[in-house]
């Protein structure tokens, strides 16, 4: 596969190639067990948007028990409790990670939000630090910019507030991890996910990484 022409920047066709390779690798992993950490990976060809869906992991942060204590009647009433548990198991909250190529910075940008039938995870800084960012990453994330390195903005396609990692430093990060190496678009994308996704719960599972390498070599 042809290497990325002008790293750390990615062209639109290169981004498309990388996303397609990731979707193919995901689809090639037939074993549902192996796929379960990411529920789905799709490419929206009209928007050139990669969408990764994952169940919201239960984060044991300090605010975790807030919802259980929301109303006193829930604690006292066993039926309500069961119903709540039941609805949670049937419709677990899903984190959507949408990756788009920034038309200005020419690097991928990560937007993410939670869809939840009970609307428990609105796009607020409170949700972000209570559920999306692992406790060990909170300090380093808060320590950048006006509000931190991860903030809220309008999703470029959905045009409603979602979390995002501002791309103004992405090129630097990619440049630093690349050094003088040449990489294929899919390698670039996997490396980008590794660098940007970790703090917000998006990581590449090893099986997917291996499958992507395997498919790349064949091509």
Partner 1 sequence: MDVTALLRERVWSASIPLEISLHTADCASYDAPPYLVHVPRLSYLAFLLPKLHAFFYTSLIYPSVTPTEAWLDYEHVPLKWHYPLGLLYDLYSGAEPAPSHDTSAEHAQVPSHEDEETPPWKLTLHFSSYPEDQLVQLDAQEKHIHDLFINNVKEADFLRNGTGKTVMSLSKEDSEQLWEGVKQRDFKRFTRVNNKFLNPQGATLRHVPMRLYLPHAASPQAGHLVSSSPHVQEVGTYEKGVITGSVRVVQGLVPLSSSSRQRQTVGTALHTLLPNLFRNTRGPCLIAAPVLHGAILPLDAGLEELIRTTTYVDGWLHIAFVML
Give residues in contact with partner 1 (CB under 8 A). Answer: 39-40, 42, 44, 46-47, 51, 53, 91, 94, 96, 103-106, 115-117, 119, 122-125, 145-147, 151-154, 156-161, 166, 168
Edge-first strand order for the sheet with 150-154 is 40-44, 49-55, 94-101, 108-115, 161-165, 150-154
- Nearer of residues 39 and 178 to partner 1, judged by Cβ: 39
List the structure tokens of 121: 């995870």
- Nearer of residues 63 and 181 to partner 1, judged by Cβ: 63
Taking the complex as a whole, the smallest distance from the CB of residue 81 to partner 1 amounts, in Å, to 22
Taking the complex as a whole, the smallest distance from the CB of residue 39 to partner 1 amounts, in Å, to 6
Residues 6+ apart with CB under 8 A from 96: 51, 52, 53, 112, 113, 114, 115
Distance CA 41, CA 49 (A): 11
- Nearer of residues 46 and 206 to partner 1, judged by Cβ: 46
- Nearer of residues 156 and 194 to partner 1, judged by Cβ: 156
- Nearer of residues 64 and 115 to partner 1, judged by Cβ: 115
Paired strand residues for 135? none
Paired strand residues for 53? 40, 96
Contact 118, 94 (CB under 8 A): no
- Nearer of residues 123 and 197 to partner 1, judged by Cβ: 123
Taking the complex as a whole, the smallest distance from the CB of residue 58 to partner 1 amounts, in Å, to 19
Paired strand residues for 218? none
Taking the complex as a whole, the smallest distance from the CB of residue 91 to partner 1 amounts, in Å, to 8
Taking the complex as a whole, the smallest distance from the CB of residue 218 to partner 1 amounts, in Å, to 26
Q: Which of 205, 195, 12, 199 is nearest to 112 (CA)?
A: 199
Taking the complex as a whole, the smallest distance from the CB of residue 98 to partner 1 amounts, in Å, to 10
DSSP class of residue 143 equals T
């Amino acid at each position: 596969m042809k290497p990325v022409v002008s790293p750390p920047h990615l062209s639109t066709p290169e981004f498309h190639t990388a996303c397609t390779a990731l979707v193919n690798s995901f689809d090639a992993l037939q074993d549902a067990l192996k796929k379960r950490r990411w529920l789905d990976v799709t490419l929206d060809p009209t928007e050139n948007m990669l969408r990764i869906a994952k169940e919201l992991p239960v984060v044991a942060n300090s605010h975790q028990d807030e919802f259980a204590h929301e109303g006193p009647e829930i604690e006292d009433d066993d039926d309500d409790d069961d119903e709540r548990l039941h609805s949670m198991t049937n419709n677990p909250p899903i984190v959507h990670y949408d990756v788009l190529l920034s038309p200005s910075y020419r690097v991928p940008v990560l937007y993410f939000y939670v869809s939840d039938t009970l609307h428990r995870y609105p796009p607020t800084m409170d949700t972000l630090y209570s559920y999306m960012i692992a406790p060990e990453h909170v300090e380093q994330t808060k320590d950048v910019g006006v509000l931190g390195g991860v903030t809220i903005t309008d999703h470029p396609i959905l045009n409603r507030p979602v979390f995002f990692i501002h791309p103004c430093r992405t090129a630097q990060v990619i440049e630093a991890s690349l050094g003088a190496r040449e990489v294929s678009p899919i390698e670039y994308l996997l490396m980008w996910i590794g660098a940007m996704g970790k703090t917000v719960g998006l990581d590449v599972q090893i099986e997917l990484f291996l499958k992507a390498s395997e498919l790349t070599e064949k091509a």
